[in-house]
Amino acid sequence: MSYAPTERTDLSALHLQDRHTPLGLSGDDVVAMWRTILLTRRLDQKIWALNRMGKAPFAVSCQGHEGAQIGSAWALREGQDVVCPYYRDTGVMIALGMTAREILEAVFAREADPNSGGRQMPNHWGSARLRVITGSSPIATHIPHAAGIALAARMRGEDTVVVCYFGDGAASKGDFHEAMNFAGIHNLPLVAICENNGYAISVPLARESAVENIAEHAHQYRCMGMIVDGNDPLDVFAAVRGAVSRARKGEGPSLIECKTYRYLSHTSDDDDRTYRTPQEVEAWRKKDPFQRLKQYLIEQRLLSEAHEAELESEVTAEIEEAVKGAEASAPPEPAAAFRKVFARPLRPVAGVPAEYAASQEGIAPPASAAGGNGAGVPADAPVRTFIDTVRETIRGALAADDRVFVLGEDVGNRGGVFKATDGLVTEFGEHRVLDMPLAESAIVGVAIGAALHGLRPIAEIQFADFIHPAFDQLVSEAARIHYRSNGDFCVPMVVRAPYGGGVHGALYHSQSVESLFAHVPGLKVVIPSTPSDLKGLLLASLDDPDPVLFLEHKKMYRAIKGPVPEGVEWRVPIGLAEIARPGADATIVTYGLQRHLAVEAADRLAAEGCGDIEVVDLRTISPLDRDMVIASACRTGRVLVVSEDNHSFSVAAEVAAVVAEAAFYDLDAPVMRLATADVPAMPYAPALEGAVLITADRIADAARRLLQA
């Protein structure tokens, strides 16, 4: 047998002693616990039957896991503790207060589904009302969120405990190890519960883990580790109650491994007969948590036959009524598919079919405000370098708002590799300027969790080239949380990263990553070009309820200077481009360092008498200010798009497509692109880097060709 249950012969296994009273549970409590297991089991069976009848297209069974799920959830403080479940946790959700009707609304993908409004598959839980954080399909990505929430709770002086559930397969993922390491370093109030059923879909534990027990990882991360019989709800309750108590008293995180088993296939699309035997399943059914707790209640004379029949009747009626109501419930209207991409939408969603275009709501187009709020830099504003502006803006934000904190590699005593946070740890302390392990997924994942719990994190990725390990956190999690939760959650965080070449950084310190992330709905991408824009956009990003990727061209850090308004009131709206240089004969659309190179090239051509070129600085890559780009193209009739990113599938390609689509009949020449050739950027040798770089000379040459076209 590849995964066999452990035999127990101790007295407690025979139910001959009162085990619940020493745990602080009354007889009524244990009966209520069993009723919850009963409801979970019967509901799961009903959902599985609905799937086989063709009424529920997809089902995830929790049968066999109820003891681990309900025993653990019973130990939590309702309305205070926070839970990050995984997709099999039907029992956890019922124990926390989600009704059978609400669960079935998700099964039938109805508008009233409290988890996602029909946007996600069933069992992708989430409810701000129940303090259950929205979850996704990628495994283990939620564990860093739990660590971030635990960090935020402690920073806010709460005695909240965060409980995170996952399967044994998740313990193979880097996010599990990065999160547990972070929790151990900071002694966080986190209880991690592994529901180990012996299989990661079909892969047995021996093929997915080098250690026999997932809890063995606890000692690596300074956590309390425990292994419990996951099919004994009272054992699970005792272990989790102790771990929660330790966490609440500031004694650190725990990793609890519940040895359990799922009786059915991984999902309704799986066939477990291909990887396990009927004999193995039957051996585990003899340890069924449903039957074991029922037997305990009978032997303790807490459950009579009449009471059992009454509870069965109650649960059956509750489920049948829930099925009837959920089936009759309205599906989401089709137009809802295009809403709640952002918590603060600035532009209509691009590409919406015409019949739904009028249904978008809550759009607040960005606009420059009067009186020094993005309208103009005061004449007496001090002149600062780009990097000094980064530091002073963060300093001001930390001083003005206790919710703001910085986390990243080397941001503390080192002050960041570019000195963007120099001196801030001395001024604000290690809890506000947090040095992180070299683990980008943890940096962003912890920031997501902290943002979900009310803080305003600024996560620094040391170089944009190193952001790729956090791609899942940014793309699958941060960008989708508001949409997938039907607006129940938002992620107000900023991720800063220096990008770009020209500094002899070679292939892994020179990349331009903006197009990778501008493609992602739900993520705002900002690239400032001047010190005043940097300050205004960074502060606006901190105000924003959506995740913002804030990219800073590293060559500008000390090369670009400019006046910067004092104070923390200055704002430059996200989503609003700027005319950096007015002109009449052609338009250059660009951003970042290339704004300055384009203005230089335009001034040179004007001095030569070749033409008067307008330069449009996008400032925000996503959402794109299409209106300003199109208006400039229509005025001048010629457009050159300049980008340091690679030529193909880039921001430049998108801008060119927008212009060609919307301003074709106003153009006097085809749209031109000038971008880095499709080679890995940037090669190290000066001659090689020079051959690749976009320079003012190359921009001027391209503009001349455009003017002559």
Catalytic site positions: 509
Helix (H, G, I), strand (E, B) or coil at 561: strand
Question: Which residue type sits at 243?
Answer: A
How many Å apart are CA 346 and CA 660, to the nearest integer?
A: 23
DSSP-assigned states of every residue in 585-653: SEEEEE-THHHHHHHHHHHHHHHTTS--EEEEE-SEEES--HHHHHHHHHHHS-EEEEEEEESTTSHHH
Residues 6+ positions from 202 with CB-CB distance below 8 Å: 266, 270, 272, 274, 275
User: Got the DSSP string for 257-299?
Assistant: EEE---SS-SSTT--GGGTS-HHHHHHHHTT-HHHHHHHHHHH
- C-beta pairs of 686-689 under 8 Å, 24+ apart in sequence: 686/504, 689/501, 689/502, 689/504, 689/510
Closest CA to 525 of 554, 502, 546, 511: 546
The Cα-based distances of 193 to 123, 594, 639 in angstroms read 18, 50, 57
Q: Which residues contact residue 555 at a Cβ distance below 8 angstroms, ignoring those fewer than 6 apart?
A: 500, 501, 502, 503, 593
* Structural contact between residues 249 and 188, judged by C-beta atoms closer than 8 angstroms: no
d(Cα 601, Cα 604) in Å, to the nearest integer?
5
d(CA 103, CA 149): 25
Of 700, 525, 526, nearest in space to 604 by CA: 700
As given in the structure block, the two tokens for residue 500 are 């770009």
Q: Which two tokens stand for residue 330?
A: 């309205």
Q: How far apart are CA 326 and CA 96, in angstroms?
A: 20
